[in-house]
Amino acid sequence: MRNLLLLLILASFLTQSCLSSKKDSDDGIAKAKITTQVKRNKVSYPYRPSKTRVFDLIHTDLSVTPVWENQTLKGTAILTLKPYFYSSDLLVLDAKGMVLSSISLKDNQRTIPLKYKYDSLQLTIQLNKEYTKEDTITIEIGYTAHPNKLSGNGSRAISDDKGLYFINPYRRDKIKPRQIWTQGETEASSCWFPTIDAPNERCTQKISISVDTSLMTLSNGILTSSITNGAQRTDTWE
């Protein structure tokens, strides 16, 4: 009987010890949960709306020739557009750091010279009349792009945003290949041809590039034509 009594007392003691330990353990977990809470600061980003669409750029047709001696690009841009919604007699294009030689509207067999204003960043063209969203117009622009006169901040992927890059233009480096390439994202295409330069603008394209026969061209699309004329070759991609 005495042994049984001792066992009961021991069992009661162990039970109380376990309950006390569990309580202490639970309190420790609760305290740990409280002490490990982290206050997070909200990060706010500036609102970046899409560019307001006044005209819809349907097609871009470029004819370009790089001039290695002064690292410029001589070109002709033929743009097909229509008013996006509201009627308009004013067309605003992005064209950074260019010298403009001619701007005209192609109307069937007629070529109509157009008046314009240019501030070295945007080209504002006064159309010959007001056009509706049912109309389609074709604008031809003669220009020379001067990418090396531009300055900008660029992005994480590239240190500047001049759009057009001449690599080893004077062939001073005997190892590095002579080349020219473009980087349009996000708004640097307008550094080498007039356009509506915005990520929410889409159009089809055709580009004819005239280069020395020693050079190879590469572009989006399919090579549809390659014509050699003496030391020059014109490749057309569309």
Q: What is the pLDDT of residue 230?
A: 95
Long-range pairs of 64-71 with CB within 8 A, sequence gap ≥ 24: 64/192, 64/193, 64/207, 64/208, 64/209, 64/210, 65/209, 65/210, 65/211, 66/166, 66/180, 66/211, 68/166, 68/169, 68/170, 68/178, 69/169, 71/147, 71/148, 71/166, 71/169
Q: What is the pLDDT of residue 18?
A: 52
Below-50 pLDDT ranges, the chain: 2-11, 13-14, 22, 29, 155-157
Q: What is the pLDDT of residue 98?
A: 97
Q: What is the pLDDT of residue 226?
A: 98
- Would you say domain 55-237 falls under CATH 2.60.40.1730? yes
pTM of the model: 0.78
Q: What is the pLDDT of residue 51?
A: 85
Q: What is the pLDDT of residue 109?
A: 86
Q: What is the pLDDT of residue 48?
A: 80
Q: What is the pLDDT of residue 195?
A: 98
Q: What is the pLDDT of residue 193?
A: 98
